[in-house]
Chains A and B, each alone.
Chain A
Amino acid sequence: MSAQPSTPTATPVRSFSDVAVGDALPSMTVHVDRARLVQYAGASLDRNRIHWDEPFAKAVGLPDVIAHGMFTMGSAVTLVTDWAGDAGRVVEYGVRFTRPVVVPYDTGADIEVAGVVKSADPETKRVTVELTATAAGEKVLGRALAVAVLD
């Protein structure tokens, strides 16, 4: 870490007046490999072996190690927190886990994340973003909705 003192800036929160229903958020690709899953397992305390132990995962009928659904959920929402300008502005967030993200040892996996503004309430400045997340061409999250309060 740098020893330089930080230089806080004013809150860079997106202005509600700059947002319209139908706006697309900048899309992103999340690359996930085994090292990342071990990192997430430690950080989240979810140490289920299916997320890092390939022989175990295969023994319980999975094609390979799979990512934590919560890893996919947690990394996908950074699209919204970065766009909103402050992670604390995301006040609601829910998803369905529709398919697992399979993470092969050699290549890892790419999760493509996109978002569209579905609704915007001028009274509360609450904006609902629908996220899509796909891996290997399949949707891995369903009904993924995040609500952010803008300025």
Chain B
Amino acid sequence: MSDYSYVRTDMLPQKEPPVSTVGPIGWARTNLFSGVFNSVVTVLMLALVIWILVNLLSWVFTPTWAAQSLSECREIIAALGKEHGACWGVIRERWIQLLFGFYPSELYWRPILTLILLFVAMAPILFSERVPRQLLYVSAAFPFLAPWLMWGGTLWLPLMVAFGIVIGYAVLKVLSPVIGTLGGTLAAIILPILCWVFAAGPVAQGLHGIIPVGIQGVESRLFGGFMLSVWIGVVAIGISLPLGIVLALGRQSDLMIVKYMSVGFIEFIRGVPLITLLFVASTLLNIFMPPGTNFDIILRVMIMATLFASAYMAEVIRGGLAALPRGQYEAADALGLDYWRAQRLIIMPQALKISIPGIVSTFIGLFKDTTLVSIIGLLDPLGLSGSIRADANWNGIVWELYGFIALLFFLSCFAMSRYSMHLERKLRTDHR
């Protein structure tokens, strides 16, 4: 027997990896100082970032919150011995105005409530797996409640508008078996429109005379600030969704005339800048309407923003339709579903779900674009910043206002874009 005593019988304990490859040091070595060039770049960039941060923070942290005017700010800054400093007094004095414009201050709860309701109404659509389905009733009521809360007036008007839709549904159910699907659909479209145009106003007036239920009316010209941006964005996206679906279906359709009309509309709207459409709203829309009609400017802007958004929405939904496998269409045909049933039961639920990230992106784009209304004289945050600067106390203030507005936009758009990215990851079903 040979002697195996020199062979170890137990394993050596595992050694710690070298300090330079793990922990913060290892991380820094691989990610920041992985070579001479990288190290130099890192140091230079670090110096730049620190320089910017030091200057910016020293500018931001200036105790000028209580100042009543720009000159008072300058005195405070001079007393501190600083060369530059922010003048936050203007934000303290005007932040409410930048958020709500000239909306009556005792009614601020209404836009806030509308915003909360908006989130509640969106919840069943955006977080369908985590909230009860009963919230869908709020989603259904929101389109009628929100304008009433924002503009006020009698409760009978939104009820009459909702009644018009009930009429349409009833007509569809009752008449379709009698005069056929197409006739029933036509009647279900025409009757509610007649009801809205001719009956809704007078009947609501009459009912309000009998049982006055309503809240104080607020004129459109008092709308302003961040609230106006959100409101234009929400209304335009909300109405453009059904319009966009119709346009997208029209563009995909086999009917040549319908297809060319849809393509023409979409490409025209997408080919011109939004500002030209806003000029149409401010100068031309009243000329296009029958003599005597007079929409106020905010309503006109909303109409044009809706048309604008619907063209982009149509493209987003077309993308969703195109992303559906052909088998889905063929399966619907094989089940013997007609066009509209196939769309309603098979195609649209899937296509719309795929399109949600695109819809959110369209909303972000439109929301940012609402700043353009300041060019035609509406008082969105950017328009208000001009009128604040016209105040003798704050004449010459620039960075604080722009910074505040930019921060508001950044926070909301960044949150939405992150949500949209999360959704995109969730909806991605292909395994890459």
B partners with A: no
Interface residues of B (CB under 8 A from A): none
Interface residues of A (CB under 8 A from B): none
